[in-house]
Amino acid sequence: MKVSTERIPQSQVVLEIEVEPERLEKSLDAAYRRMVQRTNVPGFRRGKAPRQMLERQVGHDTLLQEALDRLIPEVYREAIEQEDIDAIELPQVEMVSTDPLVMKATVPIRPTVELGDYRRMWLPRDSVVVPEERVDEALEQLRHRYANLQPVTRPIAWGDVVTADVKGTVDGRTLFDRSDIEVHLREDRPVFLPGLAEQIIGLSKGAEKEVEVPLPGDFPEGDLAGKQCHCRVVVHGVKEEQLPELDDAFARQVGEGFDSVAALRQRLADDLHKAEEEAELERYQEQILLNLDHTATIEYPPVLLEKEIDHLLHEQLGPRGESGMEQYLQRIGKSEEEVRGQLRETAERRVRHSLLLSEVAEVENIDVDEKEVTEEAERVISAAGPQADQFRRMFGTPDGRAAIRRSLLTRKTWDRLVELVSSEKSPETADETAQAEETVSE
C-alpha cells in the first residue's frame, strides 16, 4: 500500500492511498464468498455458484462495492497509523480510480491554537453598584405578587387582571387560541402581541371586540412578519389589584419570612448585587475572549463548525429533535440551509472560544483530579433535594464524571484567566511573573 500525505488549510490532511491489485483481488474474493451465501443464482444451490456466475447475476460494480465497504475502512486505519495522523472525526473519502484502486481521504485533525501574549493583557473590571431605585422596584414587584385580587364592574384599566378568550389569526391561520386565560395588563408587558393590550383597556365584563394588530417585523415566523393579525377578545371578568402595605407584617409573609422591611430590603439588595456581579463577570469574560481571539491564531477543521451548528439547531428544535425539523422550517418560513447559515456566526464564535479556553488550560497546566470530581459531585447531589438519587446515578457513570470534570476544568481556567488579566501590572512585571511561573512549572 502506497500512501502520500498533504497538509491543507483548516487543520486537514489529504491522504492518497493506492492499494495493491493483489489485496483488492483478495477483498473481491472475500466479498464473493459473503454475497454468494445470500444470493439466489439460477441453476445453483445457495452458496455454490461460481464467482463468474455471481458477477453475471449481480454485476461487477455491486461485487466491487461489497468489497470496498470492508476494504476502505481497513486501509484507511492502516494509513493513519502508518503516517501517525491524529484524526478527530471520520474522513471524507473520494475514489480516484478502481484500476488501480486509488482513494483520497480528507482527514480532520486536531485544531491548532497559538495564543497571543495573554499574560500581558490587562482589563479593568467595572464595579458593581445596585441603585436604591432597583431595590424599590423589587419591593414593588413583591407587593404585586402578594396582592389581593378583587372583582370589579368598572371598565378595564392598566394593572387589572382580566379573564378572557383571546384568538388571533393571520390569513386564516390560527396563531393563538386561548379560553378563560388570565392576563395581567402591564404597560411594560405585551399580551400575545405588542399593541393588543391597548385594545383591551376600557372594555368591561361581557364585552367582545375584534381588532387588527400588526405583527412585528422580527416576528419568529418570518413569512408572517409585518402582516395584520385579526384578534377577537371576549372579556369574562375583571379583577383589581389591592396591594399590601409595605410594613413589617408584609415582610413576614414573604418567602421564608423576614423580621422587618429592612431585613427584606437587605435580602433583595444582596440578591440583586449577586445577580449583577454574575452579569458583570459574564460580560468581563466575553471581553477577555474577544481580546484573546483578536491576538490568537486559530485553525480548525470545518467538521467542528458543522457539529456546533447541529448542536445549536438541536437547541432550537428542543424536545422535538430531528422529527420536528420539517414542521419547524415550515413555521419560520425558511429552508434548513438558510437556518444553518444564520447560525454559522454564533457557532464559529463558540468553537473559537472553546478552543481558546482549552489552549489556556493546557498552557497553564490546569487540570482536575478525581478528588475534585468526587467533591463536586457530592456538592451537587447534596443540593439536589428530591432529585439527589437521579444525580447520584448520573454522576456514578463515566460520562457523568467526565461532564463534571469538563465543568470544573472550565471554571478553573476562567478563574486563572480572570486572575491574570484583572491584576494591574506593568509589562516588566508581567514578564517577571511569566518567567517565575514557567520556572515553577518546570
User: Domain residue spans in the chain?
Assistant: 2-110, 148-242, 365-442
Show the CA angle centred on residue 112, arms to residues 106 and 115, nearest 5°. 160
pLDDT digits (tens, 9 = 90+) for 183-194: 999 888 888 889
SS3 (DSSP) at 421: helix
Average pLDDT in the 24-28 region?
94
Place of cell 456466475: 53
pTM listed for this prediction = 0.74
2-110 and 148-242 in the same fold: no
pLDDT of residue 435: 53
Task: Tell me phi and psi for residue 92, to 5 degrees.
Answer: -95, 125
Is residue 418 classed exposed, middle or buried when 0-12, 13-18 and 19+ CB atoms within 10 A define those classes? middle
- pLDDT category at 203 given cuts 50, 70, 90 is very high
pLDDT of residue 425: 56
pLDDT of residue 357: 95
Q: How far is CA 222 from the centre of its chain?
A: 22
Class for the domain spanning 2-110: alpha beta
Long-range contacts of 193-201 (CB under 8 A, 24+ apart): 193/168, 193/229, 193/231, 196/166, 196/168, 196/231, 196/233, 199/231, 199/233, 200/156, 200/162, 200/164, 200/233, 200/235, 201/155, 201/156, 201/157, 201/158
% of the chain residues with pLDDT over 90: 76
Backbone φ/ψ region at 288: left (φ over 0), alpha (ψ -120 to 50), beta: alpha
The answer on pLDDT for 166 being more than 80 is yes
pLDDT of residue 188: 82
Average pLDDT in the 216-245 region?
89
Which CATH number is correct for 148-242, 3.10.50.40, 3.40.50.300, 3.40.630.30, 3.40.50.9100? 3.10.50.40
pLDDT of residue 347: 95
pLDDT digits (tens, 9 = 90+) for 304-359: 999 999 999 888 887 666 667 887 787 777 888 988 999 999 999 999 999 999 99
